[in-house]
Chains A and B, each alone.
Chain A
Amino acid sequence: MVEVNLHGRQPQTVINLRRVEELHEWSHRHTQQTVTIGSAVPYSVMETGKIAELVPALAQAARTVGSPQIRAAGTLGGNLGTCSPAGDSLPVLSALNAVIHLIGPQGTRDVAWGEFMLGVKKNALGSGEFVHSITVPVIQGWQGYAKVGTRNAMVIATASACLVRDTEEGLISIALGSVGPTIIRCSQAEKWLRKTTSLRAGAQINADLAVEFGRRVSDEATPIDDHRSTAAYRRHCVAILAQRLLVRSLA
């Protein structure tokens, strides 16, 4: 809708997914400890309630999207369809290694997040394909999303980050938004952290280490200067966000 209203795009065909009931559904599979969310589920449903309990980072990301009106109408499918590096749900899907379930004329297929987003507003959707749903794991540990913008609500991310700490596996993953052409998974920094310290339940991290983690995370960002902000500020932001999220994950 943003393309149509703001950029004057005139699509030849519009398919309304609103009445496809199964896309509005979500489920929790206890056996596999996963949550599957239909592409037409709006942010307002993810913000609170059961989804927020199971995937808190997604709820936090949803809570930052636009205004109440936008959150009532906007969906995960739309965020994935647009595939903007500033899409707020995307760093969460990345950090959680989400699987995207696609459906199209050739049937269904599953795409790992890492193969889904290809560039600025580019994704792996084939012609005639659309997003059916996504699946993310329910993590034991901690997860959080943080987003920097120039006002305190209704703002496109200047920079954002999602950090997930899996205390069972002793893993930390971190993904960044708005600091590159795609969502950036900071695998180097993740690896370094895993080598440097234990991340299992009860682990402690000293302040210097968190700062160093932030620095390494920001090294993996590839931000640009534009009218919204500067590359230097974006890089600085992700360093601070990574540092703070790591400290929070251990608090």
Chain B
Amino acid sequence: MTTTHPTSTSTRAGTLGTNAHRPDGVAKVQGGFAFSSDMWSENMLWGATLRSPHPYAKIISIDDSAALAIDGVECVVTAQDVPGNPYYGLIMSDQPVFAAIGDTVRYCGEPIAAVAADHPETCKRALAAIKVVYEILTPVTNPQDCVSGIAPQIHPQGNVYRHQRIITGDQSIVGDVIVEGTYEIGMQDQAFLGLESALAIPDSGGEGLELYVATQWLHEDRKQIAACLNIPEDKIRLVLGGVGGAFGAREDISLQVHTCLLALKSGRPVRISYGREESFYGHVHRHPATIWMRHHADRNGKILKIESTMLFDGGAYCSTSPAVLINAITHTQGPYKCDTASVEGWAVRTNNPPCGAMRGFGVVQACFAHESQMEKLGVALGLSPVEIRLRNVMETGDRLITGQIMDSVAPVEQCIRETDAIAMPEPLLPNADIRQIPGGTGLTAQPGNIVRGVGWGVSMKNLMYSEGFDDYSTARCRMTDGVVSVKFATSEVGQGFTMLAQQIARTILGVDEVLLDTIDTQVGSAGSTSASRQTWMSGGAVKAACEKVLEDLFDHAALTFELSRDHVRIEETDIVDILSGRRIAVSEASKGINLDRTEEYHHPPTEDLDENGQGNCHVAFAFVAHRAVVDVDVELGLVKVVQIATAQDVGRILNPISVQGQVEGGIAQGLGLAVMEEIIVKDGKVRNPSFTDYLLPTFLDAPLVEMVLIEEFEPKSPLGAKGVGEPPCISVTPAIANAIRNATGRELPRVPIRPYDICL
């Protein structure tokens, strides 16, 4: 890794800009970290969920008497036991806690009942003993049928989650060169390793409860749980259970309400933990999408107009489908200038598995289409992939197709040039290690069977929530007798926010030790750990709270030690009066005092899109370029991604190794979508709900990653940093697809690219 600019000024261990250690790092590496599935409580029962085997069916009856008769079964809950709102949902309250008698199940795996029992095995037997009579209905599985209107309405709230256009510029423009294509993106799973798990502990009075859960957004969960349970929010305390990855799959409610219902009904602590198969049914996935795009360009390659239609299959329930769609259509142009566009997007309801948030959130799909188009445009004009992109790069100050002005730092040209400057990998040698050749130890190929290809992908990604949403974050900082502690409700899902919070406090307050309070709902909301937003948003909140405490500390120190209040600042671990040169150690100055501040950070407000898709809907953007080098066994269709070169716009680097981790991990996930990761759904049923058949890249599939971090302070960001989580996984997918196209000469309009797409 190289960085093009020097980073922070302070090099004191653990401050901003250094490779501070994670507070949870050692425990995670040594296996001592308690994930939510390790939680246990005295007198605890186990919970389990009964799910529909049908994608679309009416429930005629549910008989749980045989289950209740089993020794060790404590209780069963169904729709009848939901005291409050029978539905939940992040945007639209349309998903039943349990499918009710007389109503329908709308996807295969939809919850119908939950049981609590003394042992997981007892739970299994109880589930098998619940008799459900269904009237099987014909599922709606083709999203196109919802656009054309021929599909029957499968939910009272309709089959269309959102339909939105973007129209801007002179539509009569016709380019000298026109390229078009229809692209398809398969359904990817977040595939986090730490499975869904929650432990609910009812209060002794029976009025409220405590829920320990692995989630991305404690306060939003609490809001939805409280509505379903019909209990005031302040009677429910949510505590973050150890989270083993999220990637969007923990934004929606899964087992939260079920666990609480069982705990309240039984009066005992209840834990539900999903297994891998159930996890595939228990959370939303990345939207499969079909995108048509047509680019018009002039003779020099300048993009004149983009036309596109996008169809996102949201599956049975809404989740975040409308927001995913908006992200997709507003990123149609990618990181390129474009004045004229006509885009129409649909997100619809089918009886396929529900889809929602996943790393990249709609931009992944749009980017696959626009980057496939850019490659075609380059070929049509006889320009290299680099040249066609450089002729169109977006800059700060450009007007987007939504009318919004790009006011983020936008080093797109630099991303491309820095990536281009990274050395190409060595050619495949005749005596190469077999593990470096497509097919690996399967010994299918020899170097002579292999063709090498190179491809590009460049992307733009919005940061934070959009369209008028105030996704603020809250943090509390205390300094008691020299001991600093910070508290927030920010979900630590593995991204390292707890470490960053410590870095911020150390840097601002001049202390080395920073304690972390429990992550729970005893402080204001932090918003979701998603949308590449926590470093910016919760980082901003922690910074604000620490700065308030610092002001208080300066007030106190100025009085006590007769310093010039207006001329004090922190240097290393001292308060320094720059007029007199006097230094007082922070530890000394803070003796005997108790400072306590809670602050919120809000980003500037955004707007909804109007009917023509115009409006300042996004907060900020980040950019990245990827160049993929692949080796392809053209006869067998097997691929080895040799190298990914990347330059990413990251703002100020707060923790280099952490950024590097995000970049490498994101690339692996984008590679998965390019060549292997897909939930295969047929007739509304998932065919591969296991890691035997849902393939994730292994270490042998992971490419060499050569990265350049483009460090340019983002003035709009409280710490100068941009979110770095999502960008790495977005344009790497089309970069790999373009490289395979380059090697094979095939169009390959769909990801994941399967071996038979290449060779048959």
**Which residues of A are in contact with B by a Cβ distance under 8 Å?**
6, 8, 60, 63-64, 67, 144-158, 160, 227-230, 232-233, 236-237, 240-241, 244, 248
Contacts and interface: CB of A to CB of B under 8 A. Distances in A.
B695 interface: yes
A65 to B, nearest CB: 9
B757 to A, nearest CB: 9
A64 B688 contact: no
A237 to B, nearest CB: 6
B600 to A, nearest CB: 46
Nearest to B702: A152
A64 B698 contact: no
Q: How large is the interface on B (under 10, 10 to 19, 20 to 34, 35 or more residues)?
A: 35 or more
B629 to A, nearest CB: 16
B285 to A, nearest CB: 16
Given A233-B760, A236-B759, A240-B635, A153 B692 contact: no
Given A63-B441, A145-B443, A232-B760, 4 more contacts: A64-B441, A64-B443, A148-B638, A230-B756
Contacts of A154: 698
Contact of B700 (A145, A153, A237, A240): A153
B345 to A, nearest CB: 30
B522 interface: no
A197 to B, nearest CB: 22
B379 to A, nearest CB: 28
Which 8 pairs show the lowest CB-CB distances between chains A and B?
Answer: A152-B440, A227-B687, A233-B756, A147-B442, A153-B700, A152-B700, A153-B698, A146-B443
B756 A229 contact: yes
B170 interface: no
Interface in B435-493: 435, 438-446, 449
Given A146-B443, A240-B636, A152 B701 contact: yes
Contacts of A149: 439, 442
Contacts of A157: 442
Contacts of A244: 444-446, 449
Contacts of B637: 233
A150 B695 contact: yes
A227 B170 CA distance: 47
B754 A150 contact: yes
Contact of A150 (B435, B449, B755, B760): B755
B676 interface: yes
B640 interface: yes
Contacts of A150: 675-676, 695, 754-755
Contacts of B44: none
A5 to B, nearest CB: 10
B144 interface: no
24 contacts: A60-B441, A60-B443, A67-B698, A148-B439, A148-B636, A148-B638, A149-B439, A149-B442, A150-B754, A151-B700, A152-B441, A152-B640, A152-B700, A153-B440, A153-B698, A156-B692, A156-B693, A160-B442, A227-B682, A227-B693, A229-B756, A232-B756, A233-B637, A240-B444
B729 to A, nearest CB: 18
A232 B719 CA distance: 55
B701 A153 contact: yes
B17 to A, nearest CB: 37
A63 B434 CA distance: 12
A240 B439 CA distance: 13
Contacts of B403: none
B690 to A, nearest CB: 7
A60 B759 CA distance: 25
Interface string B534-545: 000000000000
Nearest to B681: A227
Contacts of B640: 152
A200 to B, nearest CB: 24
B697 interface: yes
B760 A153 contact: no
Given A60-B443, A233-B760, A152 B438 contact: yes
Contacts of A60: 441, 443
Contacts of B424: none
Contacts of A232: 756, 760
A244 B573 CA distance: 68
Interface in B661-713: 675-676, 680, 682, 687-688, 690, 692-693, 695, 697-701
Nearest to B444: A146
B46 to A, nearest CB: 16
Contacts of B443: 60, 64, 144-147
B699 A236 contact: no
A57 B103 CA distance: 58
A66 B675 CA distance: 19
A148 B444 contact: yes
B703 to A, nearest CB: 11
Interface string B632-652: 000111101000000000000
Interface string B748-760: 0000001110011
B688 A227 contact: yes
Contact of B441 (A153, A229, A230, A248): A153
Contacts of B755: 148, 150, 158, 229, 233
B756 A151 contact: no
A233 B698 CA distance: 23
Given A64-B442, A144-B443, A236-B760, A151 B698 contact: yes
| Most interface-central of A147, A152, A158 (chain B CB within 10 A) | A152
| Most interface-central of B443, B449, B682 (chain A CB within 10 A) | B443
A151 B697 contact: yes
B435 A152 contact: yes
Nearest to A47: B441
Contacts of B701: 151-153
A154 B697 CA distance: 9
A227 B124 CA distance: 27
Contacts of A156: 692-693
Contacts of A152: 435, 438-442, 638, 640, 698, 700-701
Nearest to B449: A244
Contacts of A237: 636
Interface string B728-760: 000000000000000000000000001110011
Contacts of A147: 442-444
Interface in B600-639: 635-638
B709 to A, nearest CB: 28
A241 to B, nearest CB: 7
A168 B332 CA distance: 66
A63 B439 CA distance: 13
A6 B692 contact: yes
Contacts of B441: 60, 63-64, 152-153
B268 to A, nearest CB: 26
A228 B693 contact: yes
Contacts of A233: 637, 755-756, 759-760
A227 B755 CA distance: 13
A150 B697 CA distance: 10
Contacts of B695: 150-151, 155
Nearest to B672: A151
B95 to A, nearest CB: 27
B614 to A, nearest CB: 44
A79 to B, nearest CB: 16
Contacts of B682: 227
A23 B760 CA distance: 45
Contacts of A155: 442, 695
A89 to B, nearest CB: 14
A176 to B, nearest CB: 14
Contacts of B449: 244
